[in-house]
Amino acid sequence: MAWQLPGQGKKPAGGAGAQPGFSAAVVRLSQDLASHKESDTPGVKLHVDPNDMLHPTFELTPKEGYWKGATYKFRMDYPKSYPIDAPQITCLTKVYHPNIDFTGRVCLNILRADYSPVITLTQTLIGMLHLFYEPNPSDPLNIPVAKLMETTISQFEKNVKSSLRGETVDGQSFPKLLS
């Protein structure tokens, strides 16, 4: 079923036109949701509460790479000024990653320096998948993890595996995501 704004499909009172009471952000996000296909973002499950559209969540499960098979939960916060301003993404699952810090902040270039109002929800989710398939230690948010990835890849791989098993790495405790 295609995504619709709450009350969409009903005749608007007072003539044809935009849905009254909906912000530009909600209208644009509704358009993004209507055109989003889960097949475009394999390994991502999107959850949207129609009563709180500006704060969707998603689960990301990489099919390959260092974090293969683990599931990470994220929250997206769309400002009322969307699409002029980019959404913020927070990782709700602690992860050992060069582009995600231990508080959950995410460094994704298409939501910062390379942001443009034409970037859609689907493109943002693809960008998040890309962070897990090809992490970018050259544009880090977690600098010690990025430095280790650049200098000693074998130790970086061991630390990722340990973190996925729920062990403590560099003084940080991680949830057990894999056996």
Q: Which two tokens stand for residue 79?
A: 């400002």
Predicted confidence band at 44 (pLDDT cuts at 50, 70, 90)? very high
Tokens 């935009």 label which residue?
18
Q: What is the full DSSP assignment across 93-113?
A: S---BTTB-TT-BB--GGGTT
**Residue 21 vs residue 135, higher pLDDT:** 135
Residue 78 CA to residue 108 CA, distance in Å, equals 15
Residue tagged active-site, from 107, 125, 141, 164:
107
Give the domains, in start order, of the chain with CATH numbers: 24-136 (3.10.110.10)
**pLDDT confidence of 61, banded at 50, 70, 90?**
very high
How far apart (Å, rounded) are the C-alpha atoms in residues 89 and 93? 12
Task: Give 94-128 pLDDT, tens digit per residue.
Answer: 999 999 999 999 999 999 999 999 999 999 999 99
Q: Tens digits of per-residue pLDDT, 165-176?
A: 999 999 999 999
Is 91 an active-site residue? no
